[in-house]
């Protein structure tokens, strides 16, 4: 498969206490704040993350790697892992920001991979498309495509990836 990366790999970390975890990564580990936004409930459900809105905080290392801290805006009623990604304590996943999400989805479907988000990409924000699947061992993978990758990662040299 030709998973042509658009930018460096990112890791998403589901968390219960977004404020506390963000403070740890920023203050203790020295990560730089990049952005914070809320994904509305309809997009959160379509993405398979949780049934209501959730918040994403992006942080970056001095070398350009990024982590995403994700938290449900309303904690789940029980600590029992549910069907949503953000219901699982300590959930994490790898994010591949790629150039052609539709081609990647098609190739993975042909390889027998099932998608948690269905067989089509989900537009979670204008111009931002994603799809979640699991690798053969059950690890969650996120495929993301930005219509304007330069707007998302202006810190990277165009064409370097």
How is residue 5 annotated by DSSP? B
Spans of all domains in the chain: 10-151
Q: Exposed, middle or buried: residue 16 (CB in 10 Å: 0-12, 13-18, 19+)?
A: middle
Distance of alpha carbon 147 from alpha carbon 29, whole angstroms: 31
Residue range 89-116, pLDDT digits in tens: 667 787 888 889 999 999 889 888 889 8
Taking CA 89 as the corner, what is the angle to CA 94 and CA 11, rounded to the nearest 5 degrees? 15
pLDDT, one tens digit per residue, over 9-55 is 888 888 888 998 898 889 887 889 999 999 999 999 998 888 999 99
What superfamily does domain 10-151 belong to in CATH? 2,3-Dihydroxybiphenyl 1,2-Dioxygenase, domain 1 (3.10.180.10)
């Amino acid at each position: 498969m030709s998973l042509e990366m658009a930018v460096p790999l990112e890791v998403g970390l589901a968390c219960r206490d977004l404020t506390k975890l963000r403070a740890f990564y920023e203050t203790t580990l020295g990560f730089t704040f990049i952005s914070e936004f809320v994904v509305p409930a309809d997009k959160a459900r379509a993405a398979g993350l949780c049934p209501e809105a959730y918040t994403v905080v992006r942080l970056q290392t001095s070398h350009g790697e990024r982590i995403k801290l994700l938290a449900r805006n309303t904690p789940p009623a029980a600590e029992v892992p549910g069907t949503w990604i953000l219901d699982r304590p300590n959930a994490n996943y790898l994010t591949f920001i790629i150039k052609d999400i539709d081609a990647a989805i098609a190739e993975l479907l042909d390889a027998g991979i099932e998608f948690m988000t269905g067989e089509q990409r989900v537009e979670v924000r204008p111009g931002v498309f994603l799809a979640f699947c699991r690798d053969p061992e059950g690890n969650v993978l996120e495929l993301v495509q930005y219509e304007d990758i330069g707007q998302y990662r202006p810190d990277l040299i165009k064409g370097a990836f």
